[in-house]
Chains A and B, each alone.
Chain A
Amino acid sequence: MTMWIDRLIKPSPTNEAPGPREQLRNDIAVIVTVLFALFLALGIRNQVYTASRLVSIHEGGLRIAHPERWVLQSNDGAGLIAVNLGSPSTYDSRVEVTSRPLHPDETLERARFERGLKLATELSSYREMEAAQMEVLNGIPALVTTYGFVADPTRDAGVTGLPVVVEAQDILFVKGGMLYVVSLRADAVDWEANARDFAVITNSLRLRPAKSPSAATSADGFSSSAATLEGGN
């Protein structure tokens, strides 16, 4: 330690002044150091972005990841809610997973239709925008529905705040006789900013375009102006 401090105080045995070459060498060394540090920082940033936590639903029936820094608010074995409490919006970005046994003769398309009806009555200003056929977990057919609604997150907290337009995406699929709905939601303004976090979730589901592509079906008219509470699947 003493030697280090001595070298810090008197790095050279003489008092000889550095020449232009030494100064250029110092400049280059500083530039290399700074660039190396920034390169390291990029790695740390990517590490934060991709850090995830794996959660099991139905005792391993479905394993889904969410960003590690998101808070798991509930996990009852049949579903979960994980929330990003660091969201800039009053409406925290979240993922909600629900599941239920598939009804006899119920198809994925019909399940999506019924869910659309349910959301239209429960959510304020619900509007379905797009639906597409995709695949999850290496070949399981899935339907992805994009919609929007208006939420009032500050009301429950007793604070006066503006309602928020929420953008959401539901991923519906059937696995092991269970219908799973993975719902990604965020303030519409912050949707793009949340893309990286949502990718952690969709990547864990291995969400891919369907191998037999069918054109995305435009919204077929689920909408509501009901001023009911948002939420519920």
Chain B
Amino acid sequence: MQASIMPDSGPPATATPPRRPSFLRSITLELAALLIFVALFNLFAGIGAALNETGLIILGLIMAVTPALLWLLIFYRLDRAEPEPKRLVAGVYLTGLLLAAALHLPIFGVIFDTQSWLGAYWWSQLLGNILVVGMVTAAIIYGAVRVVVFDNPEFDERLDGVIYAVAAGLGVATVSNFVYVWQHGGVDLNIGSIRVVVDTLGYASSAGMLGYFIGQVRFEKTPLIYLPGGVLLAAILTGLYFFLIERTGANSFGGELWRDLLLGIFLTLVMMGAVAWLVRRANEETARVAQLSATGDSWEAKAAVDEGGAA
């Protein structure tokens, strides 16, 4: 009994589907926009010297939100073929943000007091980043998507899982950036802009991986360990990302923060590339099983599906 939601929701194989921008092209565009964001803040870093602490905090908070908004904007562009989910994307983003804001202090500050032990050893940093930072982030992302949009009919293709999860991840990133700016009483514009972009990339890309799994469990029966495996994988990616950034990158006072940025961009491209490939292959497999067109869930418009090439 074939009961797929996904292929039915797509247009017939013979029709020309609405053209959707390439996923990776959108990511590249996003990265370019973030680079421009960093370049602008570095170009006008001198403004910071003229501001008092309140001014620096306000500017820092604007800076904390901007990468997330840029990313959401790019994803709107990616999903323009189906404009309905936009309000839902914003809803998931805000839910992720509120959940992260509510849980940040109790979990990281009180229960785990991560500042007192996370950086003590390399292994505590790695495991702490995975088990605390990664797991809590993954739980928030899953919770936000599950509560706001999972059962909504607008969630009608696997890519939506990625989009909504990234939106929730950006909510977490925004809170992380808020906390960073607030704790430092405002930030230097050049250092701060790179720091918020690097963090945003980390949260968003691992959220994208979790979004793939969420998209899968939305449309298919999966083994019991499938989704927990996805949560674990996303937590590992989050933990590894921040571990690599913290261990191999520059310190807060170093002049090599650009190295962090380049590493962040590289890791994001690798993770998002993997997500794009997985979603495309999953759609092809679903189409092969259903012996239907995969055009409803493909990244690029396809006139027809070559059955032989879908294995």
Contact = CB atoms under 8 A, between A and B. Distances in A.
Is chain B's binding surface mostly helix, strand, loop or mixed? Answer: helix
B128 A41 contact: yes
A41 B220 contact: no
B228 A29 contact: yes
A177 B163 CA distance: 73
B182 interface: no
Is chain A's binding surface mostly helix, strand, loop or mixed? Answer: helix
Contact of A18 (B117, B121, B217): B217
A9 B221 contact: no
A208 interface: no
A48 B217 contact: no
Interface in B265-304: 278, 281-282, 285-286, 289-290
B231 A44 contact: no
B282 A10 contact: yes
Contact of B131 (A9, A14, A23, A38): A38
Nearest to B151: A23
B235 A16 contact: no
Contacts of B135: 33-34, 37-38, 41
Interface stretch (B2-10, B30-38, B189-197): B2-10
Given A10-B289, A11-B226, A48 B220 contact: no
A10 B180 CA distance: 40
Contacts of B110: none
A101 B6 CA distance: 84
A30 B231 contact: yes
Contacts of B131: 37-38, 40-41, 44
B225 interface: yes
Nearest to B133: A41
Contact of A26 (B3, B124, B227, B289): B227
Interface residues of A, number: 37
B223 interface: yes
A78 B95 CA distance: 60
B52 interface: no
A134 B257 CA distance: 52
B128 A26 contact: no
B243 interface: no
Listed from nearest, the 5 A-B pairs whose CB atoms lie closest are: A15-B4, A41-B131, A33-B228, A10-B285, A48-B117
Interface of B: 1-7, 112-113, 116-117, 119-121, 124, 127-128, 130-132, 135-136, 138-139, 142, 146, 150, 216-228, 231-232, 235, 278, 281-282, 285-286, 289-290
